[in-house]
Amino acid sequence: MDVETLDLLSKQAELEGRKLKNYMEHVLKQKAEDFELSEAHIEILSKRIEAADKDLSRLTPIEDFYKRVERAL
């Protein structure tokens, strides 16, 4: 983080009577709590999960991998 941003955050923390680290944690927690998933976000995440599941289904089980390696040796 650049010095200017840290200075601004330090001033805000001081105004609220907090230490810088505590203030930053407080702000991040507020942002996280305020975050709401929209229907569009949910749809995008669902598609990504489905794609990941399809990719995982193409993986070779570890037991089969070991069998192939043993045969190759």
Higher-confidence residue: 12 or 56? 12
- Residue 30, CB half-sphere, CA atoms under 13 Å: how many? 6
Q: How confident is the model at residue 71 (pLDDT cuts 50, 70, 90)?
A: confident
User: In the chain, what are the domain boundaries?
Assistant: 1-35, 37-73
Q: Which amino acid is at 42?
A: I
pLDDT tens digits along 15-37: 999 999 999 999 999 988 877 77
**Whether pLDDT at 13 is above 90:** yes
CB 20 within 8 A of CB 10: yes
Higher-confidence residue: 11 or 38? 11
CB 44 within 8 A of CB 54: no
How is residue 47 written in tokens?
């598609």
